[in-house]
């Protein structure tokens, strides 16, 4: 119980800043340094031997990443764990605090929206953070504007990465619906997936930065897939994953539509990159590493990283 006492003694909650499928987030003050931090309390359902190994592994990996101090990754500064019952452990994750997320940042942007160079800069930073995660074999799995933090100086920091497995036990206990809007087709189809799922989400968010509203707003897995196919067309039979819940025949054939119709203000090189992100076949989808080297991100404003 000393661990919980330490969390309460060192971190003084100031305000609740959000609740989601993964529990409540508090803005708190670190009594030692005086700095603000973000506290996330997660209940992890344990096994007979305590915390599930997967959760311990994930948190240990996140702690290890802290040593790299990547500018586009939110820092996990502390972890406090307490056994609440024999089968459940409360874990308090202490992150650096950032005042706004990308959703708030986009909402605050005056008309007609973000300038093209700002979108390019945000995307470049976003991809650098993601390339760093992927190079350490971490799949985010839940990228959306609320998980991308933007500092007052315009620095992008990815948050809530690597925690999907830590949280999975807690997810079943909450009534919060996790949005489908940024999910890759292979996730919607319940097929196997890896790092390309994150690049699909990047594509959805990139389009949203340009159009200032979400790209695909489905209300079920099938509806979400239908909206995706309305834009990219019904994939070919040989691209459809095997042994999935929804057969290709469940969807009406349709041709792809010009992507300029949904992102009219995006430059041609941007729409080209967007299409490489919104590629149905995950094996053909562009990686974060390659996206950073795309011509769209090589010109104007900023260094070429």
Q: Whole-angstrom Cα distance, residue 84 to residue 275?
A: 48
* Domain boundary, last residue among 45, 71, 96: 96
Residue with tokens 């042994």: 243
Q: How far apart are CA 285 and CA 1, in angstroms?
A: 47
User: Which of 79, 96, 113 finishes a domain?
Assistant: 96
Report residue 173 as tokens: 């206990």
213 in a domain, yes or no?
yes
Beta strands 88-96 and 156-158: pairing type?
unpaired
47: pLDDT confidence band, cut at 50, 70 and 90?
A: low
Instruction: State residue 154's pLDDT score.
Output: 94
Say yes or no: 160 and 34 in one domain: no
Same domain, 81 and 136: no
Q: Is 131 a catalytic residue?
A: no
**The predicted structure's pLDDT at residue 35:** 92
Q: Which residue in the block uniquely carries the two structure tokens 């795309």?
A: 294
- Same-domain status, 125 and 260: yes
* H-helix or E-strand spanning residue 239: none
Inform me whether the pLDDT recorded for 175 exceeds 50: no
CATH number of the domain enclosing 209? 1.10.510.10
The answer for residues whose C-beta is within 8 angstroms of residue 237's C-beta and 6 or more apart is 248
Q: Between 86 and 146, name the one with better pLDDT.
A: 146
Query: Which structural domain, as residue segments, surrounds residue 52?
Result: 8-96
Residues 125-155: tens digit of each pLDDT? 999 999 999 998 888 888 999 889 999 999 9
Pair (118, 254) in one structural domain:
yes
Are the C-beta atoms of residues 270 and 297 closer than 8 Å to each other? no
In the prediction, which pLDDT does 277 show? Answer: 98
pTM of the model: 0.86
Of 96, 131, 160, the last residue of a domain is 96
Assess if residue 3 is contained within a domain. no
Average of pLDDT values for 155-168?
A: 72
Mean pLDDT for the stretch of residues 93-115: 90
Same domain, 161 and 57: no
Average pLDDT score over residue span 226-234: 98
Same domain membership, residue 50 and residue 75: yes
For residue 226, what are its two tokens? 């239908």
- The one catalytic residue among 121, 131, 142, 198: 142
Mean pLDDT of 276-281: 98
pLDDT for the residue numbered 303: 44
pLDDT of res. 304: 39
CATH number (domain holding residue 85): 3.30.200.20
Question: CB atoms < 10 A from the CB of 293, how many?
Answer: 13
pLDDT at 305 over 50: no
Rg of the Cα trace of the chain? 20
Q: Which one is predicted more confidently, 103 or 86?
A: 103
More confident residue, 69 or 246: 246
134 falls within a domain: yes
Question: CA–CA separation, 260 vs 231, rounded Å?
Answer: 10
């Amino acid at each position: 119980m000393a661990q919980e006492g330490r969390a309460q003694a060192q971190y003084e909650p100031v305000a609740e800043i959000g609740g989601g499928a993964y529990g409540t987030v508090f803005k708190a003050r670190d009594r030692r340094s005086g700095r603000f931090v973000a506290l996330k309390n997660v209940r992890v359902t344990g096994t007979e031997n305590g915390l599930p190994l997967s959760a311990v592994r994930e948190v240990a990996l996140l702690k290890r990443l802290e040593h790299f101090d990547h500018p586009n990754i939110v820092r996990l500064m502390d972890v406090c764990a307490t056994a609440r019952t024999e089968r459940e452990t409360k874990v308090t994750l202490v992150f650096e605090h950032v005042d706004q997320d990308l959703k708030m940042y986009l909402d605050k942007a005056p008309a007609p929206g973000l300038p093209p160079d700002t979108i390019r800069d945000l995307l470049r930073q976003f991809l650098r953070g993601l390339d760093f995660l992927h190079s350490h074999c971490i799949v985010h799995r839940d990228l959306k504007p609320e998980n991308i933090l933007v500092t007052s100086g315009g620095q992008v920091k990815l948050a809530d990465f690597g925690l999907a497995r830590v949280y999975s036990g807690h997810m079943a206990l909450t009534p919060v619906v996790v949005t489908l809007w940024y999910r890759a087709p292979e996730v919607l189809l319940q097929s196997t997936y890896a790092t390309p799922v994150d690049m699909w989400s990047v594509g959805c968010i990139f389009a949203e930065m340009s159009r200032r509203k979400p790209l695909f707003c489905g209300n079920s897995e099938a509806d979400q897939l239908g909206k995706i196919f309305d834009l990219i067309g019904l994939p070919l039979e040989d691209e459809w994953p095997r042994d999935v819940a929804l057969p290709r025949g469940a969807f009406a054939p349709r041709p792809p539509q010009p992507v300029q119709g949904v992102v009219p203000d995006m430059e041609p090189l941007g729409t080209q990159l967007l299409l490489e992100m919104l590629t149905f076949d995950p094996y053909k989808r562009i990686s974060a590493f390659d996206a950073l080297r795309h011509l769209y991100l090589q010109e104007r404003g900023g260094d070429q990283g």
